[in-house]
Amino acid sequence: MTEYGIHASHEQIPPGALLEAVIAAERAGFDAAMCSDHFSPWSARQGQSGFAWSWLGAALQATNLSFGVVNAPGQRYHPAVIAQAIGTLASMYPGRFWAALGTGEFSNEHITGGKWPRKEVRNARLRECVDVIRDLLAGEEVSRDGLITVDRARLWTRPEVTPPLIGAAVSKKTARWCAEWADGLVTVNAPEPYLREMISAYRDAGGRGPVCLQVHLSWAPTQAEAEEIAHHQWRSNIFKPPVCWDLATADEFDVVSENVTVEQVAEVVNISADLERHIAWLRGYAALGFDRIYLHHVGQDLGPFVETFGAKVLPALR
């Protein structure tokens, strides 16, 4: 049976309020949670960007939910540091933590001042990072001289069971590539035929583990309110790669999204005041074979969403 979780967006909501939201989500009947890991929001209107790893410790302690995070090792983060973070959380909360690994976005990674590599180089760098993280979690002493440099690193605190390292992908090509190394796949909502092809690309290439979906949605008591929330908060997030990969600042995202319409936002966000419409969307995703679906209400006030979906949407899906 498909599990339904909540997505915690650090770019939109202060960490204290976000912690209150996931506590409320557990009480409302959500099964799990995941969060982003960014240094910068995509818009000044979003206005936040808390440190995910500090927050995850608090969230795991405050709830009994499982948690995942989408992380980009290799530039802003050294993979040995990420291995240590993963190992510590998985040691403290066994069986409740996973990490998805991706190649990242310039808006977060430029802060270190390093060159932003071409996509194929970022892929190769991520692959090296995955090997470093796995070897460290396995208890090995690791040294590397490649796209990533590691000198005699060893994790002294490790979990008894290595948590899943999941591949993050938005294209079929990347999904196939993730099948080489990942313990599962996570992607974002798209038209159902495309999502079906994404799952097939991963599974046909030998991909193992759960396939997970993050669903961007906007719900409010009226259609006009739902549209306003989505347009205000998410219009800077409609751009496909390479645009979303290569812009540097929230100001740049705000400039390029200045004339984006509600109709364009609705291509990437499920916008409706009708709960039956949301139920139908979610049933459709589950029917494709997603094992976990994480709901991301793109508004900044999660309280009404958590209460309403917990009372009316989740029971209908189960």
CB 184 within 8 A of CB 167: yes
DSSP structure class, residue 73: B
Model pLDDT, residue 89: 98
DSSP structure class, residue 235: G
Model pLDDT, residue 173: 94
CB 72 within 8 A of CB 37: yes
Model pLDDT, residue 66: 97
Model pLDDT, residue 126: 98
> Is 0.75 surpassed by the pTM of this model?
yes
**Residuewise pLDDT in 10s, the chain (318 residues):** 899 999 999 999 999 999 999 999 999 999 999 999 999 999 999 999 999 999 999 999 999 999 999 999 999 999 999 999 999 999 999 999 999 999 999 999 999 999 999 999 999 999 999 999 999 999 999 999 999 999 999 999 999 999 999 999 999 999 999 999 999 999 999 999 999 999 999 999 999 999 999 999 999 999 999 999 999 999 999 999 999 999 999 999 999 999 999 999 999 999 999 999 999 999 999 999 999 999 999 999 999 999 999 999 999 998
108/247 Cα distance (integer angstroms): 10
Left, alpha or beta for 214 (phi > 0: left; psi -120 to 50: alpha)? beta
Model pLDDT, residue 212: 98
Model pLDDT, residue 35: 97
Model pLDDT, residue 74: 97
In angstroms, how far is the first alpha carbon of the chain from the final one?
8
* Pairing outcome for strands 270-271 and 3-8: unpaired
Give helix 275-288 / helix 192-204 axis angle, nearest 10°: 20
Model pLDDT, residue 65: 98
CB 305 within 8 A of CB 296: no
Residue type present at position 57:
G
Left, alpha or beta for 300 (phi > 0: left; psi -120 to 50: alpha)? alpha
Model pLDDT, residue 80: 98
**Tokens 């009372």 sit at which residue?**
311
DSSP secondary structure string for all residues of 143-197? EEESSSEEEEE--SS--SSPPPEEEE-SSHHHHHHHTTT-SSEEEE---HHHHHH
